[in-house]
Chain A
Amino acid sequence: MKKLVSLIKACMTSDMNLFKVSSKKRGKGNIVLPIILAIYLMGYIGGISFILFKELDVDGNAYVLLSVFAFIITLLTFIEGIYKTSSLIFNAKDDDLLLSLPIKRSTVIFIRLFKFYVFELLYNSVFLLPVIIAYIPFNNGSLILYIVISLLMLLLLPIIPIALSSIIGVITTAISSRFKYKNLVEIVFTFILLICIFMASMSSSKVMEYLLNNASRFNDLILKYYYPAGVFGKLVNNFNIIDLFIFIGINLVIYLLTVLLISKVYFKINTRAKSVSKKSSSKNTVIKVRSPRSSLIRKELNTFFNTPVFIINSGFGLILFILLVVVMIFKPDLFLLVLTKNNPNTGLTSDEMMKHISLIILLIMSFTSFMTSITNSVISLEGRNINILKSLPIKTKTILMSKIYACMIITTPVFILGLLALLIKFKLNIIEFILLLIIAIVMPLISHLIGILVNLRYPKLDAENSAEVVKQSTSSMVAVFTGMGIMFFAVFLIIVFMILGTNTKIVLLGFTLVFILVDLVLYLILNKWGTKKFNSLEA
């Protein structure tokens, strides 16, 4: 036990310090922005959930929402897990060290999953704590009991989704390790899973409708299909010690079984996954001359396409855009129906929505573009290799801009091709189309510039693996929250303009000009502050 505690302590301090910015430079200022963002998000979630609790409390069904939130949190943890577990379990830098120590393999797996669990616990707290607090005025039973149940739920909820996603991660790695192009197989497999989850969530409007009409039965439904989430509402509404023990038991058994199962197959899969079969058959050594800029861009693209977790994380916004474009082209009625149902306050019918088709396209682009933050880990992913870049006779501005150009090469064609498809389908007005084309370039650029600036502010050059940088760093968290904030604001404005019936061309022109202005400001900041910050980075 002492050994396990020592190991956990060593591993946690080395790579799970969420607010650790650099091993050499740390300041109190670094944690201010993440805390402000977390408080903002918690306040927002707390406010929304309070309104929903109040609505459901009329029929005495407020407790049902606790189960709903527990289910949503479980689903989010599961999705996060699918992104990460393969990298966290199999690609850690401390593999050689841990495997050489006189400890059981199951202990190594336990530590890997425990680190992920702690991170998810922190993340989930941002979402679930405000919900728990917002429910207090509606709690009819003992407050102490409610707090105990809630804290237990908070602590135990991540366990099952982490266990399940870990098993999926192991299966993904086991399958992909048999192929020559392991990364490609892993990426395709993960995208298929995520698309399936996305398609399933398309029916969420029906679920919400059912919830509002059949709240009490809804809890039974969750209880039936996913007991660990449904039991939250049940315990709060009608406490039963047996349910509590069952809940704790299920979590512990699943966690321990998962650890044992993975540790049984871990060594075999890990050895196969690490065997490098990328040896080229070609013996012709190709020596080519490129300009420093194009060579840097090529290097960035190489990093992107060789880091599965990077592609999966940042590529999902693009995949979502493609999916939404496909749905709009082949099932426009369904799309507009979902849009109007999800926004009942707009009061717009499907026909009225069609008049604003360019704004709807803008809405989709805003949503997916600000969800696509590729650059928030491009500095951290350099790791110690940042010394290579810093020793080269290249201007810092060129290095930073090459990272932006590489991201533009990835995102721009997707947006432009999507727009062209929509132009053909909906016969868009040519001026609106041209404005949308400009927006397709300048809007993702904002996301890329924000991402790189945030990463320069919160670099993590000593990460254990790429998943830690891409998914678990302060930089990725701040960039995602910032992107979400801008996205909410942009979407809100677009809907307001739709309701007001403002001329579409004027709205698009306004957005284009604002986006260009923001790009310019961010570019100037990158040029001045960003280059200085890059030069001061030490690995």
Chain B
Amino acid sequence: MIEIKNVTKKYGKKIAVDNVSFTVEDGDIFAFIGHNGAGKTTLIKSIVGIHDFDEGDILIDGMSIKENPVECKKLMAYVPDNPETYEHMKAIDYINFICDMYETPLDVREKNIKKYSKIFEMEDKLNDTIDSYSHGMKQKAVLISALAHDPKILIMDEPFVGLDPKAVFDIKEILNEMVKDGKIVFYSTHILDVAEKLCSRVAIIKSGKLVKSGSMKEIKGDKSLEKVFMELEEK
């Protein structure tokens, strides 16, 4: 479970995230939506321990990311909005590097690398250096590295950007499979119709403040998620 408790993050005088609180339960696919610059990436980076925050706390399975960063991070995998990788590495070396950091046993990583590289059609490309990849291929390599260590919580920032339609379909399948096992998927997105169909819960952030949070049914009612979002934006 992820518990965001009264989190505030400032950049100088500018408040990027303003007293945000919500909870993500085990088995949730949670969509985090908001306009550009609303504070989505800042909050995501705070959850995964990249950014410190000024007030409040974030608990991962009951542990504070501030007090037990290493233990919390062991449970999570993070996929950034831009596929940031060590470009001079071969993809397989990068994936192995990430698995080494999570101390993933050989059998687990072998099984997962094989499985996900097959799904993303990357099996015969893993021995290439990442700098020879297109944007979408880099994104796939990052996704494989995130999934290879079998994380309990998968946190993604705009995961569908730059991916081909088949890869988007495959990710949706993978996410559904993950939550069936009681895992958590938390991701930010601008593709609202995908979020509407895929996610069980949603939070909407506007100018750093949480404006709505709850189950997808509660939030959208009879309307579409896009309509709800546009109405909130116009307020």
The interface stretch among B84-92, B171-179, B225-233 is: B84-92
- B-facing residues in A303-325 (Cβ within 8 Å): 303, 306-307
Docked pose: A474 CA to B65 CA in angstroms = 33
Q: Is B100 an interface residue (CB 8 A)?
A: yes
Q: Which residues of B contact A427 (CB under 8 A)?
A: none
Q: Which residues of B contact A385 (CB under 8 A)?
A: 84-86
Q: Which residues of A contact B131 (CB under 8 A)?
A: 276, 278
Q: Which residues of B contact A392 (CB under 8 A)?
A: 73, 98, 101-102
A278-B131, A390-B49, A392-B98 provided; 14 other pairs, C-beta below 8 A?
A276-B132, A278-B132, A279-B129, A279-B132, A285-B123, A285-B126, A287-B92, A287-B113, A292-B101, A302-B88, A388-B80, A388-B84, A392-B102, A393-B102
Docked pose: A283 CA to B69 CA in angstroms = 38
Known: A292-B100, A292-B101, A388-B84. A395 touches B70 (CB 8 A): yes
Docked pose: A531 CA to B100 CA in angstroms = 21
- The main secondary structure of chain A at its interface with chain B is loop
Known: A299-B97, A384-B84, A387-B45. A287 touches B106 (CB 8 A): yes
Q: Are B126 and A24 in contact (CB under 8 A)?
A: no
| Closest chain A CB from B162 CB (angstroms) | 15
| Closest chain B CB from A262 CB (angstroms) | 24
Q: Which residues of B contact A395 (CB under 8 A)?
A: 70
Contact of A384 among B82, B99, B129 (CB under 8 A): B82
Binary CB contact string for chain B from 98 to 140 against chain A (1 if under 8 A, 0 otherwise): 1111111110011001000100000110111101100000000
Docked pose: A303 CA to B88 CA in angstroms = 7
Q: Which residues of B contact A288 (CB under 8 A)?
A: 96
| Closest chain A CB from B155 CB (angstroms) | 9
Q: Are A287 and B110 in contact (CB under 8 A)?
A: yes
Q: Which residues of B contact A283 (CB under 8 A)?
A: 124, 127
Q: Which residues of A contact B129 (CB under 8 A)?
A: 276, 278-280
Q: Which residues of A contact B73 (CB under 8 A)?
A: 391-394
Docked pose: A385 CA to B85 CA in angstroms = 6
Q: Which residues of A contact B96 (CB under 8 A)?
A: 287-288, 290, 295
Contact of A287 among B45, B76, B88, B109 (CB under 8 A): B109
Q: Is A100 an interface residue (CB 8 A)?
A: no
Known: A283-B124, A385-B84. A292 touches B103 (CB 8 A): yes
**Residue of A whose beta carbon sits closest to that of B104:** A289
**Residue of B whose beta carbon sits closest to that of A396:** B69
Contact of B92 among A286, A302, A387 (CB under 8 A): A286
Q: Are A289 and B106 in contact (CB under 8 A)?
A: yes
Q: Are B86 and A390 in contact (CB under 8 A)?
A: no
Contact of A289 among B72, B78, B100, B124 (CB under 8 A): B100
**Residue of A whose beta carbon sits closest to that of B149:** A393
**Residue of B whose beta carbon sits closest to that of A295:** B100
Docked pose: A375 CA to B26 CA in angstroms = 43
Docked pose: A344 CA to B149 CA in angstroms = 65
Known: A282-B127, A283-B127. A387 touches B80 (CB 8 A): yes
- B-facing residues in A356-392 (Cβ within 8 Å): 384-385, 387-388, 390-392
- Interface residues of chain A, those whose CB is within 8 Å of chain B, are 24, 276, 278-280, 282-292, 294-296, 298-299, 302-303, 306-307, 384-385, 387-388, 390-395, 535-536, 538
Known: A299-B97, A391-B48, A393-B71. A285 touches B92 (CB 8 A): yes
Docked pose: A393 CA to B98 CA in angstroms = 10
- A-facing residues in B35-50 (Cβ within 8 Å): 45, 48-50
Cross-chain pairs A/B with CB under 8 angstroms, 27 sampled:
A278-B129, A278-B132, A279-B129, A280-B128, A285-B126, A285-B127, A287-B96, A287-B106, A289-B99, A289-B100, A289-B105, A290-B96, A292-B100, A295-B97, A295-B101, A299-B89, A306-B88, A307-B88, A385-B85, A387-B50, A387-B84, A388-B84, A391-B73, A393-B70, A394-B73, A395-B70, A536-B52
- Interface residues of chain B, those whose CB is within 8 Å of chain A, are 11, 45, 48-52, 69-74, 76, 78, 80, 82, 84-86, 88-90, 92-93, 96-106, 109-110, 113, 117, 123-124, 126-129, 131-132
| Closest chain A CB from B93 CB (angstroms) | 8
Known: A302-B89, A387-B50, A538-B51. A285 touches B84 (CB 8 A): no
| Closest chain A CB from B53 CB (angstroms) | 12
Contact of B127 among A280, A294, A296, A384 (CB under 8 A): A280
Q: Are A393 and B101 in contact (CB under 8 A)?
A: yes
Q: Which residues of B contact A295 (CB under 8 A)?
A: 96-97, 100-101
Q: Which residues of B contact A306 (CB under 8 A)?
A: 88
Q: Are A535 and B127 in contact (CB under 8 A)?
A: no
| Closest chain B CB from A537 CB (angstroms) | 9
Contact of B100 among A276, A284, A290 (CB under 8 A): A290
**Residue of B whose beta carbon sits closest to that of A293:** B100
Q: Are A391 and B50 in contact (CB under 8 A)?
A: yes
**Residue of A whose beta carbon sits closest to that of B105:** A289
Q: Are B86 and A299 in contact (CB under 8 A)?
A: yes
| Closest chain B CB from A208 CB (angstroms) | 44
Q: Which residues of A contact B109 (CB under 8 A)?
A: 287, 289
**Residue of B whose beta carbon sits closest to that of A288:** B96
Q: Are A280 and B90 in contact (CB under 8 A)?
A: yes
Docked pose: A24 CA to B42 CA in angstroms = 13
Q: Which residues of B contact A286 (CB under 8 A)?
A: 92
Q: Are A278 and B128 in contact (CB under 8 A)?
A: yes
**Residue of A whose beta carbon sits closest to that of B79:** A391
Docked pose: A384 CA to B81 CA in angstroms = 12
**Residue of B whose beta carbon sits closest to that of A305:** B88
Q: Which residues of B contact A299 (CB under 8 A)?
A: 86, 89, 97
Known: A276-B132, A279-B128, A290-B100. A24 touches B88 (CB 8 A): no
Docked pose: A303 CA to B89 CA in angstroms = 9
Q: Are B50 and A390 in contact (CB under 8 A)?
A: yes
